[in-house]
Structure formats: C-alpha cells, structure tokens
Amino acid sequence: MGTLTGKVAVVTGASKGIGASIAEHLAAAGASVVVNYASSKAGADVVVAHITAKGGKAIAVHGDVSKLEDVTNLFAETKKVYGRLDILVNNAGIYEFLPLESITSQHFHKQFDLNVLGLLLATQEGVKLMGPEGGSVINISSIVGPMASAQASVYSATKAAVDAITVSLSQELGPKKIRVNSLNPGMIETEGLHTGGIADSDFRRSVEATTPLGRIGQPNDIATAAVFFASPDAGWVTGQVVVVAGGKRQ
C-alpha cells in the first residue's frame, strides 16, 4: 500500500515536464490524480494512460488556471469524480526572459496572471474541497526566486511572490491542518529546455560546472520531493521553501 493510498490530488500544468512526472509519482504512491492541462490534451491523455497502465487512477481536466471560470470548473470536476481533495500541486507556469528595455505590460501580466494569480485562484478553490483532516498544497516555484538572474526580472518576481505566498498561506491555513510548502527547482531537463535550445548549450554546461552534484535535474528529482511534501512523512512540515538544485548557489 502506497503512502498516498486513498488520497486525491490535483496537479496543474501536468501534461508534460515536471507536472507530468509529479502526477505519475503521486499516482504510483497511491493517489487518484487529476491531470490538469491548458492546451495539450494529447499530452495529458498520455500521462493518464501511463498512470492507468500501471493500475493507478487518473483523469485529465482542461483549464487555464489564470481564468476563474476554468479554475471553478477544474475543481467542480474533481469533486464530481472523486468527491474530495487532499493534495494540490500548483505547477502551472510560464517563463519569458527579456531585458529591461523590452518589458511591456503584456509581458508582465502574462507571467503574473498565471504564475501568481493562477496559483492563488487554484488554492482558493482547492482548499474548499479539503476536509477537516486537512491537506497539502505544494507550490512549484524556481531557484530564480531567491537567486534572480539577468533578464528574468519579471519571471523572478513571480517566483519570489510564490515563495512569499507559500509562507503566508502556511500561517493562514495551518489552523485548518492544511500544509503549504514550496519547491524551487534549478535547471531541469524538460521539453521546454530542448525547445528553447538550452539542453545542449554553453549555458547548461556552465550551470553543470557550478553545481556541486555536477548535473542539471530531471523531472523525477522534483517529483520525489513533491511526494514527500504530500505524504504523512511531512506531517509537521509547512511554510518551507526548499531549493532542489543539486546544491547550486548563486
């Protein structure tokens, strides 16, 4: 029996990358999982297929978490199918890097609306489905929150906001037995890393050269940490911001 048997989890932005790995690891630990996606239904369906092929339970639910109507529908569907929620992983996010002179209101709002407002909206609705036994909210932030980099002022600001929200909500939701923690990944080898041309770049090699463990991360490096935060093993852990980056420091 897995550590999360009988639990229900929603993972936002779970059609690929870190979110997909988290969804699959939560299911492997016994949770029934809602695989949320904004655009890639095909990707979400693949994640669901991977989970069910191994005997797990999962459904795919569309929703852009930056839109209140979509968020409401996401959790209404969760309630309809599973009747409750125990674990919420706020993974959905976007990043864009621009120098100061190129920043526009569109660039700003595109990232803040999803990375910050979307996280708040999802948490607002998600905690309504958590019972008196409480639950776990896991926010996927980034190493660039506490360790901001050049040309990432807006993105770094969104992730610093996520970490601040994590600490604030841990205090607000603690009396309801809802734990709130944040994971700050370093560079992770995802589809986006390859699409952006970073996977085989001098930038990647520079990161690896300055990382004590000598490599960039894989999605499962974050997923296993998320499972810990979701599990009873982390029953007295809340309000924590944990950098998962192979020991890298700025």
Residues with catalytic roles: 155
Nearest to 37 by CA among 55, 11, 76: 11
Tell me, letter by letter, the H, E, C secondary structure of the chain.
Answer: CCCCCCCEEEECCCCCHHHHHHHHHHHHCCCEEEEEECCCHHHHHHHHHHHHHCCCEEEEEECCCCCHHHHHHHHHHHHHHHCCCCEEEECCCCCCCCCHHHCCHHHHHHHHHHHHHHHHHHHHHHHHHCCCCCEEEEEECCCCCCCCCCCCHHHHHHHHHHHHHHHHHHHHHHHHCEEEEEEEECCECCHHHHHCCCCCCHHHHHHHHCCCCCCCECHHHHHHHHHHHHCHHHCCCCCCEEEECCCCCC
Phi and psi at residue 207, to the nearest 5° = -60, -45
- Distant-in-sequence, close-in-space partners of 53: CB < 8 Å, separation ≥ 6: none
CA distances 50 to 14, 47, 192, 242, Å, are: 13, 5, 21, 28
